[in-house]
Chains A and B, each alone.
Chain A
Amino acid sequence: QKEVEQNSGPLSVPEGAIASLNCTYSDRGSQSFFWYRQYSGKSPELIMFIYSNGDKEDGRFTAQLNKASQYVSLLIRDSQPSDSATYLCAAPYGNNRLAFGKGNQVVVIP
């Protein structure tokens, strides 16, 4: 089992809808989780981090963490074409190195 898994294929959502992305992790000791956005040809950009069980909201983004079930999710409300990108879930392992999922591509259709 990989440390962090994102198994969903590309996600197409109409403009204004909610995009929902999920990520599971294997290490029960993980304490923090990060969501990065990566536009094509660009480097990852940190958009959200979450340390505690429950929800964390920042603008149109909401991160949800469920440590008992070992999953973390990202909701994008009122999706915009500019949200079209690959979203990477990451968790720190060992000496704070990040283990990444392979990413989920989101396409927002105008």
Chain B
Amino acid sequence: GAGVSQTPSNKVTEKGKYVELRCDPISGHTALYWYRQSLGQGPEFLIYFQGTGAADDSGLPNDRFFAVRPEGSVSTLKIQRTERGDSAVYLCASSLSVANEQFFGPGTRLTVL
């Protein structure tokens, strides 16, 4: 079956701009996670959804970052007033439910110039 998909695969933007990154989880997976990975590091947790609600957003670095999952499936990560330090690969993962294995999408490489 189809895995986790993410769009766009690459996004180049200018400092100060607004970006949206989209994640489409595996069908039937109720849990959805966003991570950010910088070069040479492991993925770093940002936010987790169980259904439509954000169950844990403790990893969001500041209030410029926001994510939604209005219908309990597709999720959008939104970054306002982007900064060069936001440049990273943004990974989305989904799992059947909590405590199940997480499967990652291909990621979106964000470059802020």
User: Is A32 on the interface with B (CB-CB < 8 A)?
Assistant: yes
Are B42's CB and A90's CB within 8 A? yes
By beta carbon, the residue of chain A nearest B102 is A98
Q: Which of B61-69, B80-88, B104-112 contacts A (4 or more CB under 8 A)?
A: B104-112
Chain B residues with Cβ below 8 Å from A1 are none
Residue of A nearest to B58 (CB): A94
A97-B33, A98-B43 known; A43 vs B91 contact (CB < 8 Å)? yes
Docked-complex contact A44 and B106, CB < 8 angstroms:
no
| Bound CA–CA A99/B44 (angstroms) | 7
Q: Which of A37-73 contact B (CB under 8 A)?
A: 42-46, 49
Closest to B106 in A: A43
The answer for the CA separation of A49 and B102 in the assembled complex, in Å, is: 11
Q: How far is the CA of A76 from the CA of B110 in the complex (A)?
A: 33
B20 at the interface (CB under 8 A from A): no
Interface status of A25 (Cβ within 8 A of chain B): no
B16 at the interface (CB under 8 A from A): no
CB distance from B57 to the nearest CB of A (A): 10
- Contacting residues of chain B (1-60) with chain A, CB-CB under 8 angstroms: 31, 33, 35, 40-45, 48, 50, 55-56, 58-59
A residues whose Cβ falls under 8 Å from a Cβ of B: 4, 6, 32, 34, 36, 42-46, 49, 88, 90, 92, 94-103
4 additional A-B residue pairs with CB within 8 Å, beyond A43-B106, A95-B48: A97-B45, A98-B35, A98-B43, A98-B93
